Amino acid sequence: MKDSWIGLLDCNNFFVSCERLFRPDLVGKPVVVLSGNDGCIVARSQEVKDMGVPMGVPYFQVKDILKKDETTTFSSHFALYRDISRRVFTVMREEVDLVQQYSVDEAFFLCGSTDSGLAEQIKVAVEKRVGIPVSVGIAPSKTLAKYANTHAKQGSGVHFLDMENWSQESKNVPLSRIWGVGGQLEIRYKQHGLVTVADLLRAETSRIQQVFGVHGVRLQQELSGQQALPFTQAREPQKSIMSSRSFGKETTDPAVIQDAAAYHTRHALEDLRSMQSKTSIIRVSVRPSRHGDYLLRGGSKEAVFAAPTDNTIEVLKVVQKLTASLIEPGVPYKKVGVVLSGFTSSETVQQSLFVDEAVLKSDALMPVIDLLNQRLGRDVVTLGSHLKTPQWQSLSELKSPAYTTQWQDLKTVVA
């Protein structure tokens, strides 16, 4: 299809919009959503953006400014956002066939280069039926569609990139504004005299390949309107599961670190089993604070299982060893996490020739534990040694009620 352009639908200030859905009184007023630990700002309403509060800034640094302007603050509430996200894309799929979800609040779709009717139609449907404001950008490639979306957000909410003007406009667009160019790459491009999109488009591809590798060449193609990042409707299976969290307070105590590692292992394995998958690679990482003398003392290690497993007990043993070998005495750690990868479907897993009897028995235990936790609430039944009160956990003090996922938090509507 020669005329196949790519659209990007992006929810505006997604987390903020989700909170406003249940607090319509906050529409038009400043709102922020914080990360876990109430550490950083992860979503800002337009009013807060206009106040000059940057994305990702530590909350404590802007607390006073926000208070002064009577900003409403929420701790993040991912179960709610995932639920709203599912509704957004359900409605979207009813309006357009070819959809590729990219993140919790964005999806690409295929459409014609002049098909503004469709773009408008999707936007209206989502806003009307879900209540989340969205913007749509349309262009010949994904990277350009992302860029077009920034125009859409500033304007009427739908924007088609005009390729006639693009070669002219690209002279004034810094590479740093392009999807895929972060702080480090911006510096590297600058070192080679490449500052604007036009600079990159002019550069010799062989030289770009040499200096910036496949990533650079792909970027050049995407920005010239070629689709180097293919649109695929098929949902790629998830390749890894991560569970990690910063501690409320740094710790040097191996028992506390082991307890947190065990917690993340249980949760990652629970997710794994719900995906009907088994894992063959586990990686454990420990990090000191990113802001202190121990910056470089973190690290990670992985282990490979001879036969793929979804058995928490089996994985916990390995995690314990990896964690112990990573911890250095006296280093104050701030974060620990585990990542599972190398998945195979549970049904197709080959049995190892030498299966431990005890492992087989505990395999049967896993579904029981998952079911109990589903019924009784997370972590009612847990495996592995753990401290009575987790000393590493943090508080989310400003969390909104679980409007859509907990019965007791359902909104009461009085007619």
Partner DNA sequence: TCTGGGGTCCTAGGACCC
Query: What residues line the site for DNA (CB under 7 A)?
Result: 35-37, 39-40, 42, 56, 58, 60, 102-106, 146, 179-186, 213-215, 236, 238-246, 249-250, 271, 283, 285, 289-291, 299-302, 304, 334-335, 337, 341, 394
Q: Which lies closer to DNA via its Cβ, residue 29 or residue 188?
A: 188
Q: Which lies closer to DNA via its Cβ, residue 362 or residue 394?
A: 394
Cβ at position 301, least distance to DNA in Å: 4
Phi, psi of 98 (to 5 degrees): -95, 95
Query: What is the rounded CA–CA span in Å between residue 309 and residue 291?
Result: 37
Cβ at position 392, least distance to DNA in Å: 10
Cβ at position 257, least distance to DNA in Å: 14
With a CB cutoff of 8 Å and minimum separation 6, the contacts of 377 are: none
**Nearest residue to 30 (alpha-carbon basis) of 46, 42, 19:** 46
Q: Which lies closer to DNA via its Cβ, residue 372 or residue 395?
A: 395
Cβ at position 236, least distance to DNA in Å: 7
Cβ at position 156, least distance to DNA in Å: 21
Place of tokens 């299966």: 355
Q: Which lies closer to DNA via its Cβ, residue 146 or residue 273?
A: 146
Cβ at position 40, least distance to DNA in Å: 5
Cβ at position 38, least distance to DNA in Å: 8
Q: Identify whether the C-beta of residue 167 lies closer than 8 Å to the C-beta of residue 198.
A: yes
Cβ at position 297, least distance to DNA in Å: 10
Q: Which lies closer to DNA via its Cβ, residue 22 or residue 305?
A: 305
Token code pair at residue 114 = 């002049």
376: left (phi over 0), alpha (psi -120 to 50) or beta: alpha
Cβ at position 76, least distance to DNA in Å: 7
Q: Which lies closer to DNA via its Cβ, residue 135 or residue 243?
A: 243
Query: What is the rounded CA–CA span in Å between residue 90 and residue 55?
Result: 28
Cβ at position 238, least distance to DNA in Å: 4
Exposure class string for 10-40: b at 16+ Cβ within 10 A, else e:
bbbbbbbbbbbbbeeebeeebbbbbbbbbeb
Q: Which lies closer to DNA via its Cβ, residue 65 or residue 368?
A: 65
Q: Which lies closer to DNA via its Cβ, residue 78 or residue 361?
A: 78
Bridge partners, residue 139, by sequence: 6
Q: Which lies closer to DNA via its Cβ, residue 57 or residue 371?
A: 57
Q: Which lies closer to DNA via its Cβ, residue 9 or residue 366?
A: 9
